[in-house]
Amino acid sequence: MARVAVITAPNIGYRNTGMVTVDLAFESLRRRMDTEIDATWYTLHPPETVPLRECAQGTDFPFRFSALPEHLDALRDHDAVVFWGDFLHTRHYLAQDATNRLLDFGMAEDRAAARALLNRTLLLADQPDELLARTLSYGGTILNNMQSDYEDKEYGPLFSRLMTRSHRIWMRDPISAAKIAHLRGDRTTEYFGSDAALLSRPGDLDHLPTTEWSEGVRDGGAIGVFLGSRTRIPGWLPDFCRDLSDRFGAPLEWLPWFDRDIPAETSDIATRPGSHTLGDLVGVLPRYRLVITDTYHLCVNAWGAGTPVVCVGAPEPTPTTDDDYLTLSDVKKHVFHMAYDATDFYLSTLPDTREAHERRIDRIAHLVEGGGADSVVARIREHADHSETAFAGTLTSLLGTAQGTSRTVIR
C-alpha cells in the first residue's frame, strides 16, 4: 500500500467548519481511487491542541493529525507528500497567522525562531530535492503574494525552490495559477485546480452523523444565513435579506457555521432548536433554497452542494492595517465568484438605492428560478471533476513510479 503524507492547515478544536471540509475532501478522493493509499496526516498543531468545539466532539473523523514539526524526518519515508489546501505557502501566512499561533502555543521562543520552524515545515527548507520531486500541492493559493514578498531573502529562494521543484501544483484560483505558470516558465500545464473542498461530491460526506437539526429542514424550505464573521454588516443588508426571503417565500434561518454569537443586526433571524453536529452543518446545505454569507468556505461548500449563494463582500477587499490578516481578505471570495461567472451573486457592501436592491433581487430570483444558478453549479462541478482527474492521475502515476507499478486512477 502506498504511503502518502498529507499536510494541511491547522484547525485547532475543529473550530473552522470549512477547513474540516477541505480535509474531508482528501478522504472523499482517496475512497474513489483504485490505488490503495495509507494517508498520514500532518499539521503544525493538531486540533486537540485546544478542546474540540461541541459539535465536533464524538465525530469519528477519518484522520488523526500529528504535529508536523515533530515528524519532519518521517516525510522521507512516504512515497509522496501532498500539501492540501489553504495559504500554506504565502509569505503573509507565514509571517502573520502561522507565526502568531506558534508563539501563542509556546512552540517558538520568538518570531525569528517561528519563521525558521515554518521554513522547515511548510517550505521544506531542509528536505532534499528528491523529496520535492515526490511532492504535490492541491487547492492552495498565493493570491496575495507580491514582488516585495519574493525580495525577502529567506522566503523568496525557499518559495521558488518549492514551487519549481515540486512534482506538480494545482492552485484553487486562476490568479494564483497564473503566478505559478510564470514562476515555472510553463504556459501549457494546467495549474488552476478547484478549492480542495469541492473534491467532495454531493453525497460524499453523508457518512458524517446528522440529527433532526438538519433533517427537519424541508428541501428548499429555508434560506441559510451566516453573516458578520468576515465582513462588516452594512445597515441595509438585514432588510435586503428579508426582501429576498419574501421574494422566495422561504424564511431566513441562522446557520451556525462557526461557534459565535449572532450579530445584533441579524438577531431577529430564526434559530433551529436543539444541538447540531458538524455533519448537520454540511448536510443542511443542499436543503436550503439559498445561502447568504460572508464566509469563503461556506460559499464554496454551498455551491458545491448545488445551492446558490449570495456572497457579501467588500468592493475593494484590501487590508486597512498592517496587522490585518490577508488570509481573511474578501478578495478570495470575489475571485472565486469571478472565476465561475457567478458575480451576479456577489453582493458589495457599498450603499445603494432600494430600487437597485430590488433589481438585484429580481436578477437573483430570475437566475435561481430560470436555471442560471444551475449553470454556475454545473460549471463549478465540471471544473472540480476535471481537476480531480488530473490530480488523482498524477498522484497514482507518482506512486506507481515509487513502487514500481502503474495503476488506473478513477472508477
What domain range is 305 assigned to?
A: 212-378
54-78 confidence digits (pLDDT tens): 999 999 999 999 999 999 999 999 9
- Quick one: 315 and 166 in the same domain? no
Does residue 87 belong to any structural domain of this protein?
Answer: yes
Averaged over 317-336, what is the pLDDT? Answer: 73
In a domain, 410, yes or no: no
- Read off the pLDDT of residues 155-201 as tens digits, 9 standing for 90 and up: 999 999 999 999 999 999 999 999 999 999 987 778 999 999 999 99
Q: What is the pLDDT of residue 317?
A: 57
- Residue 409: per-residue pLDDT: 41
Q: What is the CATH number of the domain that holds 374?
A: 3.40.50.2000
The pLDDT value recorded for residue 321 is 59
Grid look-up 518549492 returns 162
Domains identified in the chain, total number:
2
Is residue 207, in this structure, part of any structural domain at all? no
Residues 183 and 300 in one domain: no
The residue that leads in pLDDT, 99 or 330, is 99
Residue 276's region, left for phi above 0, alpha for psi from -120 to 50, else beta, is beta
Do 399 and 352 belong together in one domain?
Answer: no
pTM of the predicted model as reported, rounded to 2 decimal places:
0.94
